[in-house]
A = this chain, B = another copy of it.
């Protein structure tokens, strides 16, 4: 008898979580290697890209929301990037609580370097999959990640 359609907690679910963890660690290692020559860390790279994708200099809270992390995490990342002169903390004149994050020229230069590094890293980890498989995988992950905040919390 197989529980072929309804979810129900097969033992394989634990395995799935396991593989997810392993894979993410691998991804992190690979990204780290590829980003080393650029001089930033994977999370900083994500942050930098996120800053660039905003039209206007985003606030810390904007970045936290976009990256789906707590604001605390953003602070450290901005600290690191600011130390390397890739972003700048700019006070918001209209609300003295908020800090806006601006790209510097060096930051924009880093972004250009990043493109190929990110490509290579992604290719590195996704190598075993065909493009079709990647699309399927992305669909499944989207279903898991998006599903909206209707989950009791």
Is the pair A7, B140 in contact by a Cβ cutoff of 8 Å?
no
Q: How many copies does the complex hold?
A: 2
A138, B138: Cα distance in complex, Å: 13
Overall SS of chain A's interface: helix
Whether, in the assembled complex, A65 has its beta carbon less than 8 Å from a beta carbon of chain B, the answer is no
Contact of A19 among B26, B69, B142 (CB under 8 A): B142
Closest Cβ–Cβ distance, residue A33 to chain B (whole Å): 9
Contact of A123 among B13, B122, B140 (CB under 8 A): B13
A residues 1-50 near B (Cβ < 8 Å) are: 3-10, 12-27, 31, 46
Q: Give the interface of A toward B (CB within 8 A).
A: 3-10, 12-27, 31, 46, 68-69, 118-119, 121-138, 140-145, 147, 151
